[in-house]
Amino acid sequence: MRQNRSDLARHWAHDIYEVFRAQDVSMVSYVPDAGHVDLIKLCEADDRMRAVSLTSEEEGVAFAAGAYLGGKRAALLMQSSGVGNCINMLSLIKTCQLPFLTLVTMRGEFGEFNPWQIPMGQATPVVLSAIGLIVYRVDAPNEVRDVLEAAVSLSFGSYCGVAVLLSQRLIGTKRFVEEK
């Protein structure tokens, strides 16, 4: 029996949530995004986690730095179109050698319908690497747990920035259908 896209999304989102819990990531900031919606709901429902909605992705970089300085582990959830909004702020992570973890849902890739998403989607891995983050990519649900465990260990164990790119093949392509 073939799983539909929403079943797969819940599966990988639950894997991420379980890694967050096991690795003591207790603070999650995000700019609302359909690709992260299942993970956001899991984090919001957990009384031991703090999920904070942001107005801009760059706030999430400062949020993560503050969480670390306060003895907590945090993750920033964003879409690839938001990466450009926080590039300057990411110099804080590199310069201060702070642990930083971000999960980026990708747009502008496999099956994209919106031409405005393509430039930043294509630039995201290069831009994040150029600012000093280590970039991992996940293309299939069975890769999520291993990649995320490695990313959390690397980020918080080595005091560096790590971005996990959740590909459009993993999250599914968006389709906008006019209602009649």
Segments of the chain assigned E as strands: 25-30, 50-53, 73-79, 100-105, 134-138, 161-166
CB neighbours of 141 closer than 8 A, spacing ≥ 6? 8, 11, 12, 15, 170
Domain 5-169 listed as CATH 3.40.50.11810:
no
pLDDT score at 33 = 86
Domains of the chain by residue range: 5-169
Please tell me which residue, 150 or 174, carries the higher pLDDT value.
Answer: 150
Strand partners, 105: 79, 166
47 by DSSP, 3-state: which?
coil
Query: For residue 180, is pLDDT > 90?
Result: no
pTM of the predicted model, to two decimals?
Answer: 0.90
Q: Which residue has the higher pLDDT, 2 or 133?
A: 133
SS3 content of the chain, % helix, strand, coil (to 5): 50, 20, 30
Cβ partners under 8 Å of residue 21, min gap 6: 46, 48, 49
pLDDT in tens, 116-127: 877 788 889 999
**Nearest Cα to Cα of residue 133 among 177, 165, 179:** 165
121 burial (CB, 10 Å; 0-12 / 13-18 / 19+) is buried
Question: How confident is the model over 8-53, as pLDDT tens digits?
Answer: 455 899 999 999 999 999 999 999 988 899 999 999 999 999 999 9
